[in-house]
Amino acid sequence: MTAPAVPYRPARLTRWRPKEWTPVYEQIVVLSCGMNRSNKDLGEMFGFTPQHISNILSTPEASLVRRRVLETLREKVDGGLPQRLNDLADKATQRVAQVLYDDILFERSPFAVVDRSLTVLRGVGKLKTSEEARSETNNVLILTGEAASEIKEGLKKAREAREKHPVEIVVEPAKELKAS
């Protein structure tokens, strides 16, 4: 006896989906993405197999929960960081001021206090290193005293000559160019 001929049908594989999304599943997703727990650890914690944990984490609901958790973490980090940096800057300013105003410390270690003071002055732009000063003084001409005196004398004589022989400067309006 032979089996009846059945037409070939490819297997239909469907992913596991929970009938109801429970808070336990949500906990599993949060622990997975927030605390980076392995499927085996999560399975032992909640009494599931690692494969079942994988099935839970592969659902669309888990993707939504994961996205919400990561967005919340990102907001907390982004929102809190500028404030924390401002608080740290304030505290650093207070501590630097304490060190610089401490006369006993200055008597014990004057060079350390002076060194820190110079660092603070550089940081706020009141004192520049030689390289910083060089980069800002590209157009500076340094003259000896004698050369400066000669230039001053020459400018004085030029002023006297201009007073004795005034020149009238006439500015003519610009001519329009005609297209040919």
* CA end-to-end span of the chain: 105
d(CA 43, CA 48): 4
Mean pLDDT to the nearest integer, 16-27: 90
For the entire predicted model, the pTM comes to 0.42
Closest among 70, 62, 63 to 21, alpha carbons compared: 62
Look at 18 and 143; give whichever has higher pLDDT. Answer: 18
Burial grade of 61 (CB within 10 A; 0-12, 13-18, 19 or more): middle
Look at 171 and 149; give whichever has higher pLDDT. Answer: 149
DSSP 35: S
Closest among 78, 122, 116 to 97, alpha carbons compared: 116
CB contact at 8 A, 40 and 50 = yes
* pLDDT digits 0-9 by tens, 101-119: 888 888 888 888 888 888 8
pLDDT band (50, 70, 90) for residue 86: confident
* pLDDT digits 0-9 by tens, 45-64: 999 999 999 999 999 999 99
Q: Which residues contact 38 (CB under 8 A, 6 or more apart)?
A: 50
